Amino acid sequence: MLLPSPHADSDNWTLTTPAVRSPRGAVAAQHRLAARAGAAQLNAGGNAIDAIVATAYALNAVEPWMCGLGGSGFMVIWLAREQRAVALDFQGTLAEAIRLTDYPVDPSRPKTPMGFPGVVDDANIAGYRSITVPGAVAGLDQALTRFGSRPRTEVMAPAIALAERGLQVDWFTTLQIALCARTLSRDPTSAAIYLPDGHPAAPESRLRIPQLADTLTEIAAGGAETFYRGELATKIVADLQAGGSRLSHDDLAGYTVREYTPMMATHRGYTLYTPGEASGGLRQREMLAHAETAMPVPPARPTPATWVAYAEALEACWRQHKIRTGVLAPSARHRDHSDGENGACTSSMSAVDAEGNMVALTYTLLNRFGSGVTLPQTGMLMNDSVSYFDPRPGYPTTMAGGKRINSSNMCPTVAVKDGKARFSVGASGGNLIMPAVTQVAALMMDFGMSLEEAVHLPRLDASHRGSIRVDPRLDAATLAALESRFALEIAQQRVFPKLYACVSGVARDPASGECVGLSDPTQPIGGGATPAPFQLDPLADTPPEVRP
């Protein structure tokens, strides 16, 4: 059955993105300037961990709507000399004093990005009561301290320079702000920054985020200690509690990063490392196992049967996931078509160095612009990760004091073969992340595709919602085969809305040492970077500055 779709044939573009190549390493991110901040660490003699931390901090200043100091996430690291992988879970935690009664279910409100019920006044997705303890600074600091090689002050210098310069507004930035104008308008500090004169900031202007550069400078000097237990912590908690949050000094001071051996999956001679069951990793492992059973020996190139096998595998793993998290009853056939349609959040990045160390990092504010709250004393845009939790009692993801986020779609993946890291890939896009990441990885492993070819190939999206979405660039025979098995939505890959996630990744050829990096073709500000000194855009000072 073919379902009507407003996205079937509305844009007239051929989207491609260039890959960067170097034997000295590569970085890929959803913003080119952030990737260059990371690549500058490689140029200065740093490793892939230095590069990924620099990239992640730089995104605070150039892509603040997706991730930042107020967010949380996962990292997977391959340590080439030690021949081992490490995972870091720096997901957020709920306030110890949180109460279910603060979040009464409101059936008239839309579901959260995780598929849980909406609540009165959208308290779990907007405003101060939607904020969890952010784990990003702890995670980045632990990665750098344990596995990096350069001083924090030098790794963070590009991020501070970008924050001091201010956010250059282009059409894409204006789009992001406009999409969340209603949420941003609820918070006076955010509204003053992003909605000057009550309207989304216009292209060719420049926004100053007050206090952000100072906050980054404090972190560069004092690390996670000042953020969770020092002077910054005092400012953060004061602002949170003034806004009505139940987060306390003890909640911040007690925060810890989980460091552990990643989940492993094997496929066609590769070992894939992901953060595990709290991420999209378990679904990825289940999807690959299902696809390998359906396709024991892959053909030379993908066939209609290949795409059917991928779709069926995604449907099966998503059904099990929804049963595990209590979103779906075991006897139910599928969710409604509206479930899982938010593809607008999170930032993913990857880095590889000449030695073969490789890192995949995904972190997020959850929704675009998170809670919509910018803390006045620090310039930090805060998450809305309370919506990771179920406001109803009795489920595995039900809210409880101090509880850590235990169900996420993020799926940073590092693939190793014959003891060498071959590629890492991740994505942004909520429920769309795992299908996109796993599809790109499967195409590389099943058919020997390069990262560049796999990222540019047409995609499908399936998450057990009653239909699957397919790119019309797939050939007629494939579309017919899929339509014979599923309700089909024909939808283009577009800049907005992103209907197939936003993938980025790096790869390395152990024989030649060539490293490759690229971002999704639908991400106009994304890209890869190779080792070079960091420089601000020479046009950075031309737009007029807008101060709140």
What pLDDT is stored for residue 15 in this prediction?
82
Q: Residues of the chain with pLDDT > 90: what percent? A: 86
Residue among 461, 409, 465 at smallest CA distance from 434: 409
Mean pLDDT, rounded, of the chain = 93
pLDDT at 456 over 50: yes
Tokens 């952030």 — which residue? 34
Positive or negative, the CA dihedral 478, 479, 480, 485 is positive
Residue type, 409: N
Residue among 325, 326, 255 at smallest CA distance from 95: 255
Residue type, 425: V
Least confident window among 2-11, 237-246, 427-436, 524-533: 2-11
Q: Which two tokens mark 503? A: 């993938």
Q: What is the mean pLDDT of residues 251-274?
A: 98
Q: Which two tokens mark 93? A: 């935690």
What pLDDT is stored for residue 4 in this prediction?
66
pLDDT at 344 over 80: no
pLDDT at 337 over 60: no
Each residue of 300-313: pLDDT tens digit? 999 999 999 999 99
Residues acting as catalytic residues = 346
Residues 502 and 30: beta-carbon distance below 8 Å? yes
Residue among 65, 73, 59, 50 at smallest CA distance from 31: 59
Q: What is the mean pLDDT of residues 369-396?
A: 95
52-55, long-range: CB within 8 Å, 24+ apart, which pairs?
52/27, 52/143, 52/349, 52/350, 52/351, 52/359, 52/361, 53/140, 53/143, 53/144, 53/148, 53/155, 53/156, 54/155, 54/156, 54/158, 54/159, 55/27, 55/29, 55/349, 55/351, 55/361
Reported as a pLDDT band with limits 50, 70 and 90, residue 340 is very low
Cβ contacts of 151 within 8 Å, gap of 6 or more: none
Residues 364 and 69: beta-carbon distance below 8 Å? no
Q: What is the mean pLDDT of residues 377-395?
A: 95
pLDDT at 470 over 90: yes
Distance CA 339, CA 357 (A): 38
Distance CA 316, CA 314 (A): 5
Residues 397 and 325: beta-carbon distance below 8 Å? yes
Span between the terminal Cα atoms of the chain, in Å: 52
Which residues are paired to 507 by β-bridges?
Answer: 423, 516
Distance CA 100, CA 525 (A): 40
Q: What is the mean pLDDT of residues 150-175?
A: 97
Reported as a pLDDT band with limits 50, 70 and 90, residue 540 is very low
What pLDDT is stored for residue 260 in this prediction?
98
Q: What is the mean pLDDT of residues 112-140?
A: 93
Q: What is the mean pLDDT of residues 255-284?
A: 96
Q: How far is CA 92 from CA 58, 95, 257, 402, in A?
A: 21, 10, 10, 9
What pLDDT is stored for residue 202 in this prediction?
96
pLDDT at 283 over 60: yes
Q: What is the mean pLDDT of residues 504-511?
A: 97
pLDDT at 170 over 50: yes
pLDDT at 537 over 70: no
Reported as a pLDDT band with limits 50, 70 and 90, residue 115 is confident
Q: What is the mean pLDDT of residues 456-462?
A: 95
Distance CA 498, CA 146 (A): 36
Residue among 117, 59, 149 at smallest CA distance from 363: 59
pLDDT at 342 over 50: no
Q: Is the peptide bond before 497 cis (omega within 30 degrees of 0)?
A: yes
pLDDT at 541 over 50: no
Each residue of 306-332: pLDDT tens digit? 999 999 999 999 999 888 877 777 766
Q: Which secondary structure element, helix H or strand E, spans residue 26, and what is its range?
A: strand 25-29
Work out whether strand 206-207 and strand 167-168 pair parallel, antiparallel, or are unpaired: antiparallel
pLDDT at 370 over 80: yes
pLDDT at 239 over 60: yes
pLDDT at 339 over 50: no
pLDDT at 7 over 80: no
Residues 156 and 342: beta-carbon distance below 8 Å? no
Distance CA 54, CA 154 (A): 9
Q: How far is CA 109 from CA 106, 117, 122, in A?
A: 6, 8, 7
Domains identified in the chain and CATH numbers: 2-166+208-331+343-529 (3.60.20.40)
Reported as a pLDDT band with limits 50, 70 and 90, residue 334 is low
Each residue of 490-504: pLDDT tens digit? 999 988 888 999 999
pLDDT at 122 over 80: yes
What pLDDT is stored for residue 407 in this prediction?
86
